[in-house]
Structure formats: C-alpha cells, structure tokens
C-alpha cells in the first residue's frame, strides 16, 4: 500500500508542474512530425533524450534501419530512457508515438506553435498524442523528484510511425527485445481516451486485395469475353447477403466503443475494374478482364484468423463455380491480431483505483475499434499487461483545431504516477 502522505506529496508536485507541463507540450508540438513522410523524428527524439538525460535516465536512440519506410531523408528514429531504483523490482513503461497525421484544412490557429488559450494547448498532435506524452513525462518527473523510485524501474519510449502501422516504431523496438517480459512488466500508452477510461485492447484487422479475372473481348461482342466486373458483382452480393448477416451476429465480450464495434465488421475500401478510362472520357470498348476490391475486415478476439480468411475464399469459390472463365487471387496487404489485457491485471486494477479516487466515479473499461501500438507490444514483445490510458478526447484526434486540456493532462499525470508507484511496490510481480 502506498501511504496517503506520499500520494499528497506526489500530487502536490504534479500540481506545481503545471507551467512545466504546458511548456513541454508546446515544445513537443513545435516539431512538425507529420507522417507520412515521417518528418523531424530525429529532432524530437534528441529533445526527448535530453529531457530524460537531464533527470538521470539512461537514454538510447534507436533507428529502425532496414524498415521499409526508413530512409536517409526520413530516418525512423525512436528514443528510450530508463530510470532504475536501488532495489530490483517491476518496470513500468510509458510509450507514446511521436508522429502526427497531416494538418488538413479548417484550422483557425497555427498548428505547430503550441497556442495556449482557455486552459487548452492547441496544435496538430496536441491530443493524439503529444499531450499524453507530456503528461506521462510529468508523472515520471514527479516520481523522481519526490524520491519515490526506490524499487523497480521506470521507462519512457517515444516511437515513430504509429499512424502508419508502427513497424518502424513500437514494432521495431518489440522485435529488438525492448518489450520483453524480462525487462518490462507494465506498459501504459497515453493515447487520448478521456482521463477516466482505460482501453484494454483492440480488434484484429485484415486488409486484403481480392482480384477477379475474366477474359478480355470486344465491347461490341461481350459474349466472347468473360466480364470480371460481373464476377465481382456476384462476390459483393454474396458478401452483403450471406456474410454480413453472419458477421453481425458475432458479438465480442471485449468492451469495444462505440457499441457497433462489438461486432465483426467488413468494409469495402475501394474497387477498380476494367481498363483505365482515357483522359477525354471516352470508354475503352472492351470487356473488363479484371476487377480489384480492397477489403478491410475487423475481427474479434473470439474469431480465428484462418477462418476469417477462409470465409472470403469460400465465397470466391462460389463465384468461380457459378461463372465459367472467372478466376480469382488474394493479395494480403496487412494484418494485426486482436489483443486484450485482462481486466483483473494489476495494471488495470491500479489505474482503476486511482481514476476512481481522483474523479470520484468508477473508471470505464473500453476497447478500441481500430488498432494502435498495443499489438506490437503484446504480440511481438512478451509483455502481457499493456493498456492505453491518457488525457484528451478521442474525437478530437486527426481534426482541425486539435487541443488538449491542461487540467486533463494534470489529472491523468496523477493517475499515471500513482498507478506506477503502486505497481513498482507490487510484491507479487517479478518477485
């Protein structure tokens, strides 16, 4: 148990860090780390590395060499800092992605200046997730300044490319062993989920391109060709009439938000069929011999990945059987397995405890409809306990005039610091 006067000291230090928190957030927002292409990673990592070193952290800069997106023009840099207590014990790790999405239209404030107005800090990435990074760093700073890291270790990593899949970021670090159970026990990703919610995990994803092929022929004699668009029409009808109702009946036990994401879903991302239309708008007088569909299947933790793919293959088999001359192929684009941390994990319980103390209402446990870096940490790394918990309103992410509330950052910094302190002194973990 953590003593009450220790907690008041910790919280007083966080309250006293308000100005430091705001200027840290502003500094982070002033690096326009837009991805794609993945700009300014090195500069923001240098800044974070100095911040961590100034507080006694052992810092490493890790470039994801050999990753497809890594280049000399846009190197994929990551930074990791570790603080050790005197006594051996568990490690609590905070992971935040340093990249932001493109600016887009509709801004009324400059997106990379860290404008402060009405208790908010504005900028691209303020809520997703430089505000969360700043809050977790202030939590670490407060634990260190209060002399509370007596046992175990604290870590922070700033990682690249979350917005484009995380392969050169958290995924790379996980494959390099930085998220092995031997060195990390609990991971908190301060993504913007409202400071009273804990996100346990996310659904799985399968992106694939399905191509249907037929036979080319003269447009005036379609009976001499085999139309791939007609074959694709058959597939779309089968998916709509046969597969969609089945997907809609599969409900996950994961607390996905919004409610609709508790079911298995499939989206048609794009479709292209036939010859490209020429610039003057006159169509090519040929039978379409190919048609491509990109589909986005989100699957549940209760579903089997092979079966997810198998049911598309089965429908394609029916399309092929029904129309002579039709064939198909499938190209895998990307897939991630679903992941969920157990609600009774000490990580979840300690966050829940401190959320309830601070907000005077129970925490809500949620799961995300889309994926984030948790999959790398739990699937490629061997850390079992990983959640997303951080300040900011999820709906503001990727929007113009994105902002983060300063009070929200302070509150979530308190929850993160107190939960980390509880976990560091947990005697059953890593004993």
Q: Considering only the C-alpha atoms of the chain, give the largest distance between any 2 of them, rounded to a whole number of Å.
A: 86
Beta strands in 6-146 (DSSP E): 58-63, 77-84, 87-97, 115-117, 120-122
Nearer Cβ to Zn ion, position 52 or 100?
100
- Give me the residue whose beta carbon is nearest to Zn ion: 128
Nearer Cβ to Zn ion, position 192 or 346?
192
Q: What's the min distance (Å) between Cβ of 163 and Zn ion?
A: 7
**C-beta contacts of 271-279 below 8 A and 24+ residues apart:** 271/232, 273/228, 273/229, 273/232, 274/228, 274/229
Does 129 bind Zn ion (CB under 5 A)? Our answer is yes
Helices 131-145 and 4-16 sit at what angle, rounded to 10 degrees?
A: 130
Residue 8 CA to residue 3 CA, distance in Å, equals: 9
Using the rule CB under 5 A, give the single segment among 2-10, 128-136, 224-232, 381-389 that binds Zn ion: 128-136
3-class SS at 401? coil
Give the rounded distance of the alpha carbon of 16 from its chain centre.
31
Residues 181-210 that bind Zn ion (CB under 5 A): 191
Q: Site for Zn ion (CB under 5 A): how many residues? A: 3
Q: What's the min distance (Å) between Cβ of 108 and Zn ion?
A: 23
Nearer Cβ to Zn ion, position 70 or 128?
128
Nearer Cβ to Zn ion, position 25 or 349?
25
Q: What's the min distance (Å) between Cβ of 162 and Zn ion?
A: 6
Nearer Cβ to Zn ion, position 21 or 170?
170
Name the burial class of residue 276, with classes exposed (0-12), middle (13-18) and buried (19+) by CB atoms within 10 angstroms of its CB: exposed
Using the rule CB under 5 A, give the single segment among 49-57, 73-81, 127-135, 361-369 that binds Zn ion: 127-135
Does 128 bind Zn ion (CB under 5 A)? Our answer is yes
CA trace torsion 232, 236, 238, 242 (10° rounding): 160
Residue 273 CA to residue 229 CA, distance in Å, equals: 6
Does 303 bind Zn ion (CB under 5 A)? Our answer is no
Closest CA to 34 of 92, 81, 90, 97: 97
Using the rule CB under 5 A, give the single segment among 109-117, 124-132, 335-343, 358-366 that binds Zn ion: 124-132
Q: What's the min distance (Å) between Cβ of 191 and Zn ion?
A: 5
Q: What is the DSSP-derived secondary structure letter of residue 338?
A: -
Q: What's the min distance (Å) between Cβ of 129 and Zn ion?
A: 5
Q: What's the min distance (Å) between Cβ of 107 and Zn ion?
A: 19
Residues near Zn ion, by CB under 5 A: 128-129, 191
């Amino acid at each position: 148990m953590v003593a009450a006067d220790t907690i008041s000291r910790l919280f007083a230090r966080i309250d006293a860090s308000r100005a430091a928190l705001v200027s840290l957030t502003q500094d982070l927002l002033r690096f326009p780390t837009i991805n794609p292409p993945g700009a300014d990673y090195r500069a923001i990592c240098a800044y974070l590395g100095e911040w961590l070193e100034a507080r006694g952290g052992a810092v490493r800069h890790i470039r994801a060499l050999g990753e497809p997106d890594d280049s000399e023009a846009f190197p994929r840099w990551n930074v990791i800092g570790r603080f050790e207590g005197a006594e051996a014990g568990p490690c609590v790790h905070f992971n935040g992605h340093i990249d932001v999405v493109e600016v887009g239209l509709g801004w009324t404030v400059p997106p990379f200046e860290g404008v402060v107005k009405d208790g908010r800090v504005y900028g691209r990435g303020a809520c997703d997730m430089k505000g969360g990074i700043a809050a977790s760093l202030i939590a670490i700073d407060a634990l260190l300044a209060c002399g509370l890291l007596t046992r175990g270790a604290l870590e922070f990593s700033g990682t690249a490319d979350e917005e484009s899949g995380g392969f050169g970021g958290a995924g790379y670090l996980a494959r390099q062993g930085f998220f092995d159970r031997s060195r990390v026990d609990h991971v908190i990703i301060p993504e913007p989920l409202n400071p009273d919610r804990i996100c346990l995990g996310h659904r799985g994803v399968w992106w694939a391109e399905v191509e249907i092929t037929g036979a080319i022929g003269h447009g005036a004699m379609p009976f001499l060709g085999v139309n791939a668009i007609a074959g694709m029409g058959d597939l779309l009808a089968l998916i709509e009439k046969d597969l969609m109702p089945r997907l809609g009946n599969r409900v996950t036990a994961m607390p996905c938000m919004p409610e609709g994401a508790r079911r298995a879903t499939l989206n048609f991302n794009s479709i292209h069929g036939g010859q490209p239309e020429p610039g003057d708008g006159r169509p090519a007088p040929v039978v379409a011999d190919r048609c491509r569909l990109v589909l986005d299947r989100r699957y549940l933790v209760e579903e089997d990945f092979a079966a997810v793919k198998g049911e598309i293959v089965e429908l394609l088999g029916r399309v092929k059987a029904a129309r002579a001359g039709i064939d198909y192929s499938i190209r895998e684009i990307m897939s991630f397995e679903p992941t969920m941390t157990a609600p009774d994990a000490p990580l979840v319980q300690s966050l829940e405890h401190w959320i309830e103390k601070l907000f005077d209402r129970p925490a809500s446990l949620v799961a995300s409809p889309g994926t984030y870096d948790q999959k790398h940490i739990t699937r490629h790394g061997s850390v079992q306990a990983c959640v997303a918990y951080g300040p900011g309103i999820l709906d503001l992410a990727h929007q113009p005039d994105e902002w983060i509330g300063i009070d929200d950052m302070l509150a979530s910094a308190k929850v993160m610091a107190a939960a980390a302190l509880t976990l560091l002194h947990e005697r059953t973990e890593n004993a």
